[in-house]
Amino acid sequence: MDALLISLKILVPLAYLVTTIIYARLFFTTEESRFAGKAQTGLAVSLALHIAFLIVLGMQLRRCPLGTVGEGLLFLAWIVGTIQFLSEWLADTRRLGLFTVLPTALCVVVGVFFLRPDYALPENLRSSSLLVFHIVASLASYACFAMASILASLYLVLHGKLKHKNFDITFRKLPPLEKLDKLSANWSFLGSANMVVASAIGIWWVRKTNMAGMGLNELAIYLVLAVFLGAGVSRRLFGLRGKRHAIVLIAGFGVLLLINLIGTHGFSR
């Protein structure tokens, strides 16, 4: 088991890095057909190895591998990679794969670095299925917010190129501004919905276990929900769209990263 886990620690990041290079070649070439099949195969192999890694890691830890920063990053990367795989299957296009597979690969590399196989999760946390559902819903919201911010960033890139009349290959490969704007709003909504579900499960778990509720530090995570929900409400009521909408979504994801980096909410380190 140890040898298999060590092998997967090497193979999974390597598979994602190779797949990222293939997607980069696909995006920056005019001959997409040369790399489309390779990219799809690379992502499928990476996800298969990733699933095996999570299963073996769970067997080694004898719990669901969601207790530490490293484990959380690995699971988050798997969600984003799966979203990309399903998006490609539904839309039959791989042009944007580079922009989701690259952060997925980075999450995997950092996640493997921060793995702590010797970390003993407290017994009251190991046996709580509600906590697992809370974490999964939270990570799903993180993944949706990440997708929203990626699309919002691409919107700003495309907007800048259009403004300066720079019609290079990046301009030609990216979807229209209107589509990027709409897709980022959809992912923002899905992320907000998942975070609301995660919050409800978390409150239920706290009351069921008679644990102390969230303090002011932990409540900082709701700043993220406020930003994304505010963007959605402003879009519906006040017509917030385009560049301003993209900036708000990127700012919201920046707040999410900051909150997790300073440790006010999240996993054991």
The interaxial angle of helices 33-61 and 69-91, nearest 10 deg, is: 150
Q: How many residues does the chain have?
A: 269
Say yes or no to pLDDT of 211 above 70: no
Q: CA–CA separation, 24 vs 26, rounded Å?
A: 5
Say yes or no to pLDDT of 20 above 70: yes
Q: What is the pLDDT of residue 269?
A: 53
Question: Average pLDDT of 111-123?
Answer: 77
Q: Reduce the DSSP state of residue 256 to 3 states and report it.
A: helix
Q: CA–CA separation, 204 vs 134, rounded Å?
A: 10
Question: Average pLDDT of 110-123?
Answer: 78
Q: Is the whole-model pTM more than 0.75?
A: yes
Over residues 24-61, the pLDDT tens digits come to: 999 998 888 889 899 999 999 999 999 999 999 999 88
Q: How far apart are the first and last CA of the chain?
A: 24
Q: What is the pLDDT of residue 185?
A: 93
Q: For tokens 């990046």, what's the residue?
A: 170
* Structure tokens, 16: 């994602």
